[in-house]
Structure formats: C-alpha cells, structure tokens
Amino acid sequence: MQGGGGRAMAAARALRCVRARGSASVLQQSGRAFVTEVEDGVGLGFGARVKEQSARSSRQEARSRNGRWLAAGAFSLSFAASTMSVAFGKERVADRFAPKEVVLYQYDACPFCNKVKAFLDYHDIAYKVVEVNPMGKKEIKWSEYKKVPILVVDGEPLNDSTAIITELSRRIEAANASALTQEVESEEEEKWRSWVDEHLVHLLSPNIYRTPREALQAFDYLTTSGNFSTMERATGKYFGAAAMYVIGKRLKKRHNILDERAALYDAAEEWVKALDGRQFMGGSKPNLADLAVFGVLRPIRQLDTGRDMMASTKIGEWYARMEDAVGATARLQEEPLMGTIDNSMKV
C-alpha cells in the first residue's frame, strides 16, 4: 500500500503532467470553484480583504437605510405580519411583494452559491438557475463581474454571496417596524456571518482535498453536478483532483492549520457553543448567520468531510433543524437556461 509520502509524490507527478498539457490552471480553478474562486480561501468573491471590510461597512450602513424593492418598491408591514413563522418553517415572502424573476448564475457545488440558495429556499423565493462552466464561463460573458454567484433580480445583477443576501434581506425587512429593536441581535448575527467568511471557509479546501481519495470524491461530485463537457469530466476528475490535493496542502500551511479535521471539528463545536441552547442563532427561527453556516456546509454534507463532522461533533441536531426550516428548494424545475441575458437588464 502506498504511504502518504508516496501518494503526495504521485499527486505531484500528476500535477506536473497537467501542467505539461497546459491545462493545470483551468483544472485548479475548477477545484477552487468548489470552495472559492480565490486561492487564499477568503471566498467572498471580492478577492481582497479591503473589499471584505467594504462589504461589512455596507451591511452596517444598509441596516440604517430605508429599503427599496426592485420593481414593486419596499415591502410593506403586511409582509412582516404574513411571515411570522414557527420554528422549522419557511419564512415566505407574500406573492405581491416577491420579485417577478430571479436567476442565479452558479456552480452547483459552490458553497457560496449554496448560501444564496439557502436564503432563497428559506424565503420561498422562486428562482431559475444557470449552471456556469468554470472552464470558459461563457454563461456570464455578459457580466463584468466574472465570479459566481451572480443573482439577477428583475433585471438587476447582484454580486457576491454575502452582499447579495444582505441586500435581499434589507429589502425584505425595510418596512419592519421592529427592526430598530433588534440591533443587539444583529451585531451577533454580523459577527458570525463574518466568522463564516473569514474562518470557516478557510477550513474547507484542506479538508475536502485532505487525501487523494477525498480529492477524487470531491471532484467526482464537482464534475457530476457541474456544467462540464464529457471530455472535461473525463480529464477534470483525475488531473483536477491531483492538482487540488497539492493546493489543499499549500492552503493548510498558509493558514497555519496543523490538523485540518480537528480544526473543522473545533469550528463546528464553536458554532454549537455560540447557539447557547437556542434552536437557532436567530432564536426560534434562523437568521442570516444560521443560513450562512448552513449554506457553506451543505455542499460537503455527503462527502467524507461532512459525514465525519456530523459524527464527531454536536452540530448535527442544529443542521437537521436547519434542513427542516429551509425545506424544499424554491428552484424552478425547467429546461436549463443557456446563459444569456436580456438586453434590457442592467449590466
């Protein structure tokens, strides 16, 4: 049986082979699409910490502004009354206040796209999906922003998972008279949303690409669920897995992670401890922090990484409650869109 050193050498040889063929960067990008589009694992879609700080400032400013809805103006107080829900139930948007058309440009396995989907599913906002091919990204060639997720709401593109969710949430809560009384809770909520973006995501790559077998498992999921040609599936799974196995080790070293599994377990237990006996961080129903953690973890749930985390920590009960609360997908089941955008849309 080949030892860890032998496997690493084999992976390195495979990576050199990919580079020799001139396709390593593309395949590595496909792997990073599973977790993030920037190699440092920040994963906010901004690609730089200064933009993370800008996003946080925007979120704080958004809480003090009156919201606006894209086509129908602001949500009225009747929305707040109509969406008072018990635990484990969706918080639906009334039809007359819901956007007319929502289109999500995504990678199916991307945790940041899954953050947006968790929000849309929880609020039962119907949306269409355009699966982007990470090799060429022709589906988003119309956009100056070349990362996913991109959410087009009634013709207006919104970029970056955290910024998208903040904006949609602001519009939903714009006319909620009780919003000013929830400032203390929102500070906690923002703290843990930042924790997801700045800490939890850094642990994903080193874990899902921890061993050659796990790297292959992750790429099998990525290439099966994503928008790839037959040739890309055939080459991407093996060469991409080898490349990301090596990159996973590099990211582990960069973020000073000694034991990637132990670090992930610690993060899960840290989240459970922060719940402090509550059903959700939001109390009787999920808030944006709950949806962020759930969305990021959902793509890894059926991988070895996710199964090990559930078996070795106490996060499983909360995760099961989140599955019940988010419920069935609000995604419209129809023929896949071809990645075009109407000329009337603002880009």
Of 99, 276, 79, nearest to 179 by C-alpha is: 79
**Edge-to-edge strand list for the sheet holding 156-159:** 128-131, 102-106, 150-153, 156-159
Cβ–Cβ < 8 Å for 50, 208: no
Output the six-digit token pair for 138.
Answer: 């022709």
Largest CA distance in the chain: 65
Output the six-digit token pair for 322.
Answer: 């989140």
Give the integer Cα–Cα distance in Å for 221 and 299: 9
Contacts of 169 (CB under 8 A, 6+ apart): 119, 288
The one-letter amino acid code at 109 reads A
Of 241, 298, 310, nearest to 272 by C-alpha is: 310
Output the six-digit token pair for 61.
Answer: 């400013």
Active site residues: 107, 110, 112-113
- Residue 206 preceded by cis peptide, ω within 30: no
